[in-house]
Structure 1
Amino acid sequence: MSNFNSKLKRINVPLVDHKYWSCIEKVNSLRLKNDIFHSILKEKLQGYSLADIKGFHLKTNQLVENIKSRELQHIAIQMSDIGCSDDGLDYFIYWVISQGKLVYQNTKLNPKSLIINYRVGGIHNYEEFGYVAYEVFYDKTNEDLKDYLN
Structure 2
Amino acid sequence: MQAAPPMQNADVDRDRFWEDVDAARARVVDVDEVPAALVEVLRGRPLAELVAFREVQDELFDREAYRWDLWAAAYVINGGASDDGFEYFLGWLMAQGRTRWEATLADPDSLADVVDADTGDLDCEEMLYVAPTAAEDEEAFWAALPDKGEHLPPGPAGERFDFEDEDRMRRLLPRLTAIFYDEDER
TM > 0.5 fold call: yes
Contact 1:27–1:37 (Cα < 8 Å) also in 2: yes
From 140, 146, 149, the counterpart of 2:145: 149
Amino acid at match of 2:142: K
Residues 1:43 and 2:72 are matched in the alignment = no
Residue 116 to residue 131, structure 1, CA distance change in 2 (3 Å): same
Query: Cα RMSD over matched residues?
Result: 2.1
TM-superposed CA distance for 1:142, in Å, is 5.3
From 66, 81, 85, the counterpart of 1:84: 81
Match of 2:67 in 1: 69
* Structure possessing the higher radius of gyration over alpha carbons: 2
Q: Partners in 2 of 1:40 and 1:108 — Cα distance?
A: 24
Q: Quick one: percent identity of the two aligned structures?
A: 25
Alignment of 1:1-150 (within 5 A): 15-65=12-62, 66-81=64-79, 83-120=80-117, 121-137=119-135, 140-141=136-137, 143-150=139-146
Which protein has greater RCO, CA pairs closer than 8 Å, 6+ apart? Answer: 1
Contact 1:75–1:115 (Cα < 8 Å) also in 2: no
Q: Between Structure 1 and Structure 2, which shows a larger proportion of helix residues? A: 1
Contact 1:14–1:59 (Cα < 8 Å) also in 2: no
TM-score, length-normalised on structure 2? 0.66
Structure 1: gaps spanning 5 or more residues: 1-10
- The runs of 4+ residues in structure 1 deviating greater than 3 Å are none
Cα-to-partner distance string for 1:34-65 (whole Å, 9 max, x where unaligned): 45322221111014221111111111111111
Cα-to-partner distance string for 1:74-108 (whole Å, 9 max, x where unaligned): 11011112x21111111111111110111111111
Cα-to-partner distance string for 1:101-121 (whole Å, 9 max, x where unaligned): 111111111111112332344
Aligned length: 136
Q: More deviation in 140-149 or 90-99?
A: 140-149
Q: More deviation in 100-109 or 114-123?
A: 114-123
Structure 2: gaps spanning 5 or more residues: 1-8, 147-186
Q: Partners in 1 of 2:92 and 2:32 — Cα distance?
A: 12
